[in-house]
Chain A
Amino acid sequence: MSETTFRGWGRGIAVFGTVAIFLFPLMGMPAKTYLTLTIAGLAMGMLLFLVASGVSIIFGLMDVLNFAHGALFAWGAYVGFSTFKVLMNWVEADSVFQNFAVFFIAIIAAIVVVGLIGILLETIIVRRVYGSHLFQILITFGATIVLVELIRVFWGPNDEVMTVPLTFRGNWDVMDVIVDRYRIICIVIGLTLYGIIQLILKKTKLGTIVRAGVENREMVQAMGHNIFLLFTGVFAAGAGLAALGGLAMAIFSLQVYPDMGSTYLLFAFIVVIIGGLGSVTGSLVGALIVGLSYNYVAYLVPWAAAGANIIIMIIILLVRPRGLFPVGK
């Protein structure tokens, strides 16, 4: 049976599974509660997508297991935290323009700083362990310890409260359904980022080369492209995505703490396994599945919330070991 047929099945399973997860809980709760949880699930999913997409592309293209991704996520949160502290008057200002301006400044600062850390990490450490997953795990785990300790050195060991820009606070009341403002912003950010990534991957030559490299790195080299420069760029982009996810999650959870990356790294790997390595669409679908199921299960069967996503991941691994939207070898 052809790869195309299997891909069709994968898409069918993804659509059916997502719709099933999406609609099934409606049977166990009031409609308004369902809508509130759905928005929360979508927002959580989008945040996980920001972290997971970087992991997926790095693993898919470079075949690198980057366990430092969680630390990069935490660094993004802390850079955003510091940016807000410096520009606190804009954070607290009763001005939509200033609130969004400080948010975008924080995004740029987080992406640039963590992107540079990513470049250093890749050229100094990761490049030496291409081809060996065991060494990648060990060395990036070591890098995680160093990066988290550096957070403690620069910002201190204690949890810090993340101030939310004024415009992002509060709720909207939409037909008696309470909708958290920031959750809608998270959904918009996630969808916008997915659109930008797809545009780059599908419509630019660089994106085409990245997609080709995910399938066959060696052939891309043999066609005249410096795959190592591409790797560095992709690693930096993945780090930038982690930073954006960290900043967004810090605002979502109202706090930053040095070890915050490790919790979300586990979710990110679950998302990537469900969605398929090297697939941005897979990361989005996987993240939405994880976000929605976590929120629905947490309401319906609270004690099972933590394990629900693990069960979904196991089912996917049994039915589609390469994930719902696998690419490459």
Chain B
Amino acid sequence: MSEPILKVEDVHAFIGQHHILQGVTFDAKADAVTVLIGRNGAGKSTVIRTVMGLLPSSKGKIVYKGSEIHKKKPYEIARMGIGFVPEDMGIFTGLTVEENMRVAMLHDDENTAQRLERTLDMFADLRKFWKREAGNLSGGQKQMLSIARAIVNDTSLLLIDEPSKGLAPIIIESVIGVINQIKTNCVVILVEQNFHMASSVGDRFHILDDGVVIHSGLMEELVVDEDLKSHYLGISKESG
């Protein structure tokens, strides 16, 4: 296994008075899709937001490619090559698809133009609805736009928060396909409650509960471990 691209060490974070992250420690390897899973309220999204700098950490360290980023501002972290797809997709609904992509593009150079073309090849609907207001896209199309924005720059690490939320099963399959394509070019950390998606794209997993990582391992092991799934994820043998 390669060296970790991201190391989260004993990170604590508060939302108001609530101590959400109570010493999260995990790492994301450069050649694997890392999945953060766990019950509602475990702190999964909070981890992603803290890595992205959108929530300050009160203690601990976050190291990305050897540089500490836990004190950096979100725009500085984004410019280091970290893309972010939030839980609510974060689409600018009053802007067109084109304008959403232009906001995402940090440089106006040839490389970015080529990446834009490759991204639009991956997401054919976005090319088709290029001039359409993003608020008029379907749920699946909005999710594709949100992912496309996050990878149009030279992204080394992609943080995706619950991309399957609110999507129909057939769209979830499309998103799985997209993430499997993306992971060949950049490292992905995925937060997901949908076990089917998590197991379809993930290589390694970390289970969060009450703001700490309680179990880690290879996804192929979790898929066959019914006791683990049932105990920590509430997934019964029939539904899993």
Contacts and interface: CB of A to CB of B under 8 A. Distances in A.
Contacts of A209: 103
Interface stretch (B62-70, B84-92, B225-233): B84-92
A222 B80 CA distance: 11
A224 B106 contact: yes
Interface string A196-216: 000000000100110110011
B185 interface: no
A221 interface: yes
Interface in B185-211: none
A327 interface: yes
Contacts of A2: 135-136
Interface residues of B, number: 25
A4, A209, A224, A225, most chain B CB atoms within 10 A? A224
B52 A215 contact: no
B101 to A, nearest CB: 10
B54 A224 contact: no
Given A4-B136, A209-B103, A212-B103, A219 B78 contact: no
10 contacts: A205-B102, A208-B95, A208-B99, A211-B95, A215-B93, A222-B74, A223-B103, A223-B104, A225-B103, A328-B94
A211 B104 CA distance: 13
B78 A221 contact: yes
A215 B94 contact: yes
B78 A222 contact: yes
B133 interface: yes
A328 B91 CA distance: 11
B119 interface: no
A222 B92 contact: no
B7 interface: no
B86 A212 contact: no
Given A219-B90, A222-B74, A223-B84, 5 more contacts: A3-B135, A4-B136, A205-B103, A215-B93, A222-B75
A3 B135 CA distance: 8
Given A3-B135, A225-B75, A227-B75, A220 B103 contact: yes
